[in-house]
Structure 1
Amino acid sequence: MAGIEPPAELVELQRAADAAGAAAGAAATENGYSPEVWRLWLDAAEAVQAAITAHAREAGLNRYELERAVKTKARLTEPEG
């Protein structure tokens, strides 16, 4: 992670993607697996990946280290506010 402090907006995007994945998993369990069930999670995951890539490029950071920092902070800390 090398001391990367991820921006709050990336952390929140990751939390939204994680929540969408959990909701999709629950819906799939109840309704069966289909592309429609997973669409919100796929869209959220694509959005967070694009945002991480763009931020890493703009800030001159290693994209993979930034992604790891974002996921760690999103999953191991409480949301602010």
Structure 2
Amino acid sequence: MAHTFEELVHKRRAADLAQHRVEELRDSYGPPTQHRWTPRQSETYETAVRAWRDLDRDARTAMAEYVKEGGQSRHKIEAKLRKAVQDDDRNI
């Protein structure tokens, strides 16, 4: 499947936002080993972690396909992608 650079930015940003949500939940609920979470908290956290992992996997897979199709250096594309995501974050 062909991916555009804009799709890579979108996928990476979605994965980063999902990771941020997991971190927010962890900060809000406290460490699971030190605080007893309610079943709802556990379910919410586990769902957020699964979403993050799925989105991150999709972003990494799309990146690998993009690099393979384009014949460019993965390192250069990753640097360009991180810059684009950071620039998007500043514009929000």
- What is the total number of aligned residue pairs between the two structures? 74
User: Which residue identity does 1:61 align to in structure 2?
Assistant: Q
Structure 1 position 25 matched with structure 2 position 23: yes
Q: How far 1:30 sits from its partner (Å)?
A: 2.4
Q: Which protein has the larger Cα radius of gyration, Structure 1 or Structure 2?
A: 2
Whole-angstrom CA distance in 1 between matches of 2:65 and 2:8:
11
Residue 69, structure 1, aligned to residue 80, structure 2: yes
In the TM superposition, residue 55 of structure 1 has moved relative to its aligned partner by 0.4
Aligned pairs for 1:1-81 (under 5 A) are 7-31=5-29, 32=31, 36=46, 37-77=48-88, 78=91
Using structure 2 for the length normalisation, give the TM-score: 0.68
What runs of 5+ residues in structure 2 fail to find an aligned partner? Answer: 33-41
Question: How big is the shift at 1:65?
Answer: 1.4
**Gaps (5+ residues) in structure 1?**
1-5
Tell me the CA shift for residue 7 of structure 1.
1.2
After superposition, the CA RMSD in angstroms is 2.2
- TM-score, normalising length from structure 1? 0.76
Identity of matched residues, %: 24
Deviations 1:32-63 (Å, cap 9, x if unpaired)?
45782422112111111110110000010111
Secondary structure of the corresponding residue to residue 72 of structure 2? coil
